[in-house]
Amino acid sequence: MTASAKPGAAAPLAHDPRAVATAEVLIEALPYIRAFAGRTIVVKFGGNAMTDDALAQSFAADIVLLHSVGIRVVVVHGGGPQIGELLGRLGKESEFRDGLRVTDAETLDVARMVLVGKVNRDIVASINVHGPIAVGLSGEDGGLITANLRDPELGFVGDVADVNPALVESLLAEHLVPVVSTIGADVHGQSYNINADTVAGALAGALGAEKVIYLTDVPGILRDVDDPASLIGSTTPSHIAELEASGVLSGGMIPKVRACLEAIDAGVPAVHMLDGRVPHVVLLELLTTAGVGTMITQDGGA
């Protein structure tokens, strides 16, 4: 016994470095949890994260954790790869124009089956493994998404004409997680397939969401597409306009960024573009000091 030890006192336990690191992470997350508790965050789920089982499970766990600490989470999803796969199995070739799938009546039926009947149910089930909190919706339910025809040459591809968030708000008030597939309908009941990025931004605006998060297959906005270290951590619409004018933004990055800007235009204070291929990327961006993607805020915003 050392001179400083009290008689009969147990020897101090050796600290597990992993446990200490976990505690430090929780302490780091605490101010962000406090800041976002009671706020609404819309997460657009897509890309490789949707087709990789391990990433899909990681995503579901992230959503459950955010919900558990009081954050109101809404998930919006597409399902382009799954639609293309089923069309291929049916012997129907997909045609794209400007990145949008030409959608005839048969393709629309397949899209509804895949988005509403398969992908939506899979996401709901993966979340509900952790507890009965997720509820699946289509944009057709309760007049959630009213659509307009985008271009007759694209067939039944729609744009968002109006959002009625009442059904989603009711579910959030019941402490549930709405999971929304992006089929909408016009005033005559005609269904349309709508780009999930567009729906996420429009719904976030209608809900008065604090943030909308886009999970993509890129790390975020890069100054050099071949250099991950050139990631732009935060930016604004005016800066993005400069990047596009200078040629920094090109190709497939342009529609991704424009979807983010549409969300900003809809009144969302902050939009995040993250790499959905990174496990727990949503938590890393929202609940850590460093963050891992690109955040776009309104000009003059924080």
User: Domain extents for the chain?
Assistant: 38-297
DSSP symbol at 247: T
Residue 20 has pLDDT above 50, yes or no: yes
β-bridge partners, 43: 75, 213
In the predicted model, what is the mean pLDDT of residues 281-296?
89
In the predicted model, what is the mean pLDDT of residues 13-24?
73
Is the torsion defined by CA of 146, 152, 156, 159 positive or negative?
Answer: negative
Residue 17 has pLDDT above 90, yes or no: no
Tens-digit pLDDT profile for residues 54-87: 999 999 999 999 999 999 999 999 998 899 999 9
Specify the pLDDT at position 1: 46
- Provide the 3-class DSSP secondary structure of residue 29: helix
Q: How far apart are CA 189 and CA 169, in angstroms?
A: 23
Cβ-based neighbour number of residue 229 at 10 Å? 8
Does the domain formed by 38-297 have CATH 3.30.70.100? no
Specify the pLDDT at position 7: 59
- Provide the 3-class DSSP secondary structure of residue 48: helix
Tens-digit pLDDT profile for residues 138-157: 999 999 999 999 999 999 99
Residue 96 has pLDDT above 90, yes or no: no
pTM confidence score: 0.90
Tens-digit pLDDT profile for residues 109-142: 999 999 999 999 999 999 999 999 999 999 999 9
Single-letter amino acid code for the residue at 95: E
Per-chain mean pLDDT for the chain: 90
DSSP symbol at 5: S
- Active-site residue list: 44, 47, 80, 197, 256
Residue 18 has pLDDT above 60, yes or no: yes
